[in-house]
């Protein structure tokens, strides 16, 4: 199996209940949300893959050039942690860039900045922006796979529980020179409306 240095993982396995429709395919600046996440990682990772909700697999495969998977059967439906586990089982890489599909302001500079902060004593680089953790805009080392596996076996599905078990470099807004809007999540239709207002757009 080929060893890659960095693999990009787009997580799109959620049901978008609060949003009312699949967030991944909402539009912003003529691109879908998932395309913004994909564009932020595609030039700085060796390979990319999408971990999709089963209902969206064919739609992603029609629109995407990268491979699309669903959660491994044994961890199916166990949240983002299951998606990361699945990606690490599929790809033989040292590092994984993990992005959600509800961060339309994300960009390559932000991801490259996080990658540049990696060093041998940490297993993850995670933004902590204005006191809010962003584990789904993160960089993770392959060596944590066994910890994720054990956590899922124990029915611990929270990302925060994982971060408490590994060596994490937390990066604040004072540590990086990037647009902090990169870390804005769109969770509801109200957020989406505000996104359009902020960009003076009426075609969303």
Model confidence over 106-120: pLDDT tens digits? 999 999 999 999 999
**203 lies in some domain:** no
pLDDT digits (tens, 9 = 90+) for 52-90: 999 999 999 988 789 999 999 999 989 999 999 999 999
Task: Please give the annotated binding residues for Mg(2+), written as ranges.
Answer: 102
In this structure, the strands spanning 27-28 and 67-69 are unpaired
Give the CATH number of the domain where residue 69 resides.
Answer: 3.90.550.10
> Which residues are registered as beta bridge partners of 141?
95
- Tell me which residue has tokens 């990658």: 115
pLDDT band of residue 20 (cuts 50, 70, 90) is: low
Higher pLDDT, 122 or 16: 122
**24 lies in some domain:** yes
pLDDT at 13: 72
**204 lies in some domain:** no
pLDDT of 15 > 60? The answer is no
pLDDT at 193: 72
**147 lies in some domain:** yes
Helix (H) or strand (E) run with residue 125 in it: strand 124-129
Q: What is the mean pLDDT of residues 14-35?
A: 78
**Gyration radius of the chain over CA positions:** 16
Number of separate domains in the chain: 1
pLDDT at 1: 46
Which has the closest alpha carbon to 26: 200, 188, 197, 199?
188
pLDDT of 196 > 90? The answer is no
Q: Are 21 and 189 spatial neighbours (Cβ–Cβ below 8 Å)?
A: no
Task: Please give the annotated binding residues, written as ranges.
Answer: 11-13, 23, 71, 102
**Residue 31, SS3 per DSSP:** strand
pLDDT at 102: 92
> Which residues are registered as beta bridge partners of 145?
none
Instruction: Please tell me the distance from the alpha carbon of residue 49 to that of residue 132, in angstroms, as a whole number.
Output: 26
Q: What is the mean pLDDT of residues 3-9?
A: 86
**Residue 45, SS3 per DSSP:** coil
Instruction: Please tell me the distance from the alpha carbon of residue 51 to that of residue 33, in angstroms, as a whole number.
Output: 15
The domain of 91 spans 4-198
> Which residues are registered as beta bridge partners of 137?
99
pLDDT at 201: 46
Task: Please give the annotated binding residues for GTP, written as ranges.
Answer: 11-13, 23, 71, 102
């Amino acid at each position: 199996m080929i060893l890659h240095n960095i693999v990009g993982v787009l997580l799109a396995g959620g049901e978008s209940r609060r949003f009312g429709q699949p967030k991944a395919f909402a539009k912003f600046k003529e691109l879908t949300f998932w395309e913004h996440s994909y564009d932020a990682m595609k030039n700085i990772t060796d390979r990319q893959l999408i971990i999709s909700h089963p209902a969206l697999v064919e739609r992603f495969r029609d629109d995407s050039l990268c491979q699309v998977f669903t959660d491994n059967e044994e961890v199916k439906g166990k949240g983002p942690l299951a998606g990361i586990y699945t990606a690490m089982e599929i790809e033989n890489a040292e590092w994984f860039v993990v992005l959600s599909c509800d961060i339309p302001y994300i960009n390559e500079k932000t991801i490259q900045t996080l990658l540049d902060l990696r060093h041998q004593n940490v297993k993850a680089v995670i933004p902590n922006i204005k006191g809010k953790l962003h584990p789904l805009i993160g960089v993770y080392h392959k060596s944590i796979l066994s910890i994720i596996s054990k956590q899922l076996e124990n029915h611990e599905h929270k990302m925060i529980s994982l971060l408490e078990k590994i060596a994490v470099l937390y990066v604040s807004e004072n540590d990086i020179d990037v647009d902090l809007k990169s870390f804005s999540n769109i969770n509801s239709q109200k957020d989406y409306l505000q996104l359009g207002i902020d960009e003076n757009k009426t075609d969303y």
